[in-house]
Amino acid sequence: MEKKKPRYSVKSPGRGGYRPGSGRKPGSTTKVRLEDLLEDVETATNMPFTQRVALNYAMAIDRSDWARVENYDKALLNKMVADLSQVEITEDEDTVTAKRAAFAAAIAAVAGPGQEPGK
């Protein structure tokens, strides 16, 4: 039997791991920005992106494409729930006064006894 020749005449170094100079360079501009993408979609379709999403959703319902409708339902529901879960914080005058007094006391404690804050 004849001995087979190796596939490569010179053994190559390992194929994985860090390679100097590889990867995205700092400040590179090839990354797509969301604003640019949405603007391009609006230009290509002659309608705002949100209107396009609503139209596609209605068309999926008309076609009885229930898998796609379910995907739209999940995406839209996730967006609505995320928007509704944000809590609006309102403060009355008593709360603001109490916070000011607590802040002044904390600054006075840091400044030391008998010293005015900031001096």
Q: 43 lies in a domain?
A: yes
| pLDDT tens-digit map of 61-114 | 999 999 998 998 888 888 777 666 666 677 778 888 888 888 888 888 777 666
pLDDT at 83: 66
Examine residue 18 and state whether it is found in any structural domain, yes or no.
Answer: no
For 21-39, the pLDDT digits (tens) are 887 788 777 778 888 888 9
Print the domain residue range for 82: 31-87
96 within a domain of the structure (yes/no): no
**86 burial class (0-12, 13-18, 19+ CB within 10 angstroms)?**
exposed
C-alpha 70: how far from chain center: 23
Q: How many domains does the chain have?
A: 1
Q: What is the mean pLDDT of the chain?
A: 79
Q: Model's pTM, two decimal places?
A: 0.43
- Reply yes or no on whether the pLDDT at 9 is more than 90: no
Report the interhelical angle of 66-84 vs 49-62 (nearest 10°): 140
Q: What is the predicted pLDDT for the residue at 64? A: 92
CB 97 within 8 A of CB 78: no
